[in-house]
A = this chain, B = another copy of it.
Amino acid sequence: MNKFDLIRADFLNDFEKIQNLDGPSYLYEPIKYFVQSPGKRIRPVIVLFLSELFKNNKSDAMNGALGVELLHNFTLVHDDIMDEDDLRHNIMTIHKKWDNAHAVLSGDGLGALGPIFIAKINYNTLPILVRYHEVILEICEGQAYDMQFEKQDNVSVEKYLLMSQKKTGSLFEFCFEIPSYLSKEHIKYLELLKKIGRNVGIIFQIQDDVLEISSDDKNMGKGTDSDIRRNKKTILSCIASEDNKKKWNAFITSIENMNVVNKKKEFKKYLTENRIDIKAKEILDLQISNCNNLISELPDDIQEGVNELIDYILNRKN
């Protein structure tokens, strides 16, 4: 096991305590079911790894990690209702296994449990708790843009980046923020670490889009089907639209009535022929270079650790 797997195992051990919660089965059965689905737990790993790097109190770090993972799970359950997705991490989503009512309520329950763990933190509790809600509101705004964009033919790259900052970047920012709040020594790098976290979130999102299309057809994830069906915007479709709106819109119209498999093939063909994938990689490289500049401003003794963490995050998908 590498160190990240060890941290993850440590987290999962504590996360098991959700299984001991007692109360009405209508609420707690779906909650217990969902938190056991095989997510990568990247967000709590960030909180725990940085807390270890900053030599923070272990129990405070774990409560922070539980808080962010519960928040993340809350947004997943509700996003799955909104996107009408039947599968998540290859297991049935709550609204599919039960119904919408169970999914709405258990999502709310997960969202309420998160801050109950955050509140157990013994140091700088109030600012962390306050940020928890600002982050939820930002995620809601990101999800709102995501839903709005489904109904729009052309979305600018700028708008796409705003959406993914809010939807993905804000929670990654928060994961970098909690360990800073827990550290008397590193609180002075709070703003810098927040920027790095947000940046990593955006890179994580763009990379997901790019990898998806550059992988061979068989390895293109199930997620793509649902995204194509719902006309979800990715960095690639936004670049294509900005690059040549008329051509892109004509292409979209031309594949309208194809099945998902053919649509995927045509997408890939269009994106490579028009060098959209190259342009996406340029944007990705720019973001990575921004991120590296930010990291170079950190004190020497934590730079290596932060780089190691980011390598870990960006080589895996959640």
Contact = CB atoms under 8 A, between A and B. Distances in A.
Given A27-B144, A111-B111, A126-B125, A116 B104 contact: no
A199 interface: no
A140 B81 contact: no
Contacts of A26: 144-145, 147-148
Q: Which 7 A-B pairs have the closest CB atoms?
A: A27-B144, A24-B144, A26-B144, A82-B101, A112-B136, A112-B137, A119-B130
A40 interface: no
A122 to B, nearest CB: 11
A282 to B, nearest CB: 28
A104 B78 contact: yes
Interface in A102-130: 104-105, 107-109, 111-113, 115-116, 119, 125-126, 129-130
Nearest to A95: B100
Nearest to A24: B144
A133 interface: yes
Given A119-B130, A141-B27, A145-B24, A81 B101 contact: yes
A299 interface: no
Interface of A: 23-28, 78, 81-82, 100-101, 104-105, 107-109, 111-113, 115-116, 119, 125-126, 129-130, 132-134, 136-137, 140-141, 143-145, 147-148
23 contacts: A24-B141, A24-B145, A26-B145, A26-B148, A27-B143, A27-B144, A78-B104, A78-B108, A81-B100, A81-B101, A81-B104, A82-B101, A82-B105, A101-B147, A104-B104, A105-B144, A107-B108, A108-B136, A112-B140, A116-B133, A119-B130, A125-B126, A129-B129
Contacts of A78: 104-105, 108
